């Protein structure tokens, strides 16, 4: 699952995003019901840093992936993308420049997440949004031109990431492989688990594709007016919480 807009409602400032209590309770009980032999592996894959999301969710034993899956940590799994580490110096330099350049745009700010950056403009007046985007484009132009970084849109935000072939779908594929759900000698590949991915934004489309490529489920969280490749949809983070409660009931009955 993604975090912002999926487990937690979107808010004006990312530091204020919190899961509803009922959602956290469902995750805690799901984790407890599937221990010590996990019938269900719960993972959070987010644009936030790994340290941020793990502290924000605060449930031991889950799998956490930060920076769109560039860093992953969980039971028997520890991963940091080596190429992203090489580009970290460029990320740091761009962040320092953005802090200075965005100061002229009230409401806009850059969030440093270790291996990537996010520029938030949700609090910027509508007539100044274009100027914010121009400032970001100008600030990252050199790093983009030399192939270090890439800029992609999010919900009232711009994501600035290492320019490497890695996304949330890549992270899901790596996690599935690490969990051993694919028998090594199967041809064609056969998986004995169901992969489900919940997300709400453009970067989550890669996650939906990865889940659905395994015969699993992509679940988009948002209105029916929004375009998505996911085969399933929930209206809101509240419905994600309700779905987790239903899953909890299923595992409780099976236990």
Mean of the per-residue pLDDT values of the chain: 91
Q: Per residue in 118-177, pLDDT tens?
A: 999 999 999 999 999 999 999 999 999 999 999 999 889 999 999 999 999 999 999 998
pLDDT band at 229 (very low <50, low <70, confident <90, very high): very high
For residues 83 and 147, is the Cβ–Cβ distance under 8 A?
A: no
Q: Which residues contact 92 (CB under 8 A, 6 or more apart)?
A: 112
Domains 14-81+166-254 and 82-162 share a fold: no
For residue 177, the surrounding DSSP H or E stretch is: helix 168-179
Q: Which tokens hold the place of 210? A: 């990865």
What sign does the CA torsion over 202, 206, 207, 212 have? positive
Looking at residue 14, what is its pLDDT? Answer: 86
Looking at residue 47, what is its pLDDT? Answer: 92
For residues 197 and 208, is the Cβ–Cβ distance under 8 A?
A: yes
pLDDT band at 221 (very low <50, low <70, confident <90, very high): very high
Looking at residue 36, what is its pLDDT? Answer: 64
Pick the CATH number of 14-81+166-254 from 3.40.920.10, 3.40.50.1000, 3.10.290.10, 3.40.50.300: 3.40.50.1000
For residues 154 and 118, is the Cβ–Cβ distance under 8 A?
A: yes
- Domain boundaries along the sequence of the chain: 14-81+166-254, 82-162
Residues with catalytic function? 2
Compute the average pLDDT of residues 27-37: 81
Q: Which residues contact 60 (CB under 8 A, 6 or more apart)?
A: none
For residues 98 and 118, is the Cβ–Cβ distance under 8 A?
A: no
Q: Per residue in 59-93, pLDDT tens?
A: 999 999 999 999 999 988 899 999 999 999 999 99
CATH number attached to the domain at 82-162: 3.30.70.1020
pLDDT band at 179 (very low <50, low <70, confident <90, very high): confident
pTM of the model: 0.88
């Amino acid at each position: 699952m993604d975090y912002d807009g999926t487990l937690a409602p979107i808010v004006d400032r990312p530091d204020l995003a919190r899961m509803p209590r009922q959602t956290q309770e469902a995750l805690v009980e799901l984790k407890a019901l599937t221990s010590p032999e996990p019938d269900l592996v719960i993972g959070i894959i987010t644009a936030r840093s790994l340290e941020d999301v793990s502290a924000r969710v605060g449930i031991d034993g889950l799998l956490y992936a930060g920076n769109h899956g560039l860093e992953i940590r969980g039971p028997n799994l520890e991963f940091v993308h080596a190429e992203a580490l090489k580009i970290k110096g460029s990320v740091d330099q761009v962040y320092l420049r953005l802090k200075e350049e965005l100061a002229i745009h009230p409401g806009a700010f850059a969030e440093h997440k270790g291996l990537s950056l996010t520029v938030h403009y949700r609090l910027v007046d509508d007539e100044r949004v274009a100027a914010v985007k121009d400032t970001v484009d100008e600030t990252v132009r050199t790093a983009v031109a030399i192939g270090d970084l890439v800029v992609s849109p999010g919900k009232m935000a711009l994501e600035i990431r290492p320019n490497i072939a890695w996304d949330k779908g890549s992270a899901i594929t790596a996690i599935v492989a690490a969990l051993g759900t694919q028998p090594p000698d199967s041809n064609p590949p056969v998986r004995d688990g169901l992969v489900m991915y919940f997300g709400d934004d453009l970067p989550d489309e890669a996650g939906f594709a990865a889940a659905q490529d395994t015969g699993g489920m992509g679940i988009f969280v948002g209105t029916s007016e929004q375009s998505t490749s996911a085969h399933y949809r929930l209206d809101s983070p509240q419905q994600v919480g309700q779905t987790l409660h239903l899953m909890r009931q299923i595992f409780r009955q099976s236990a």
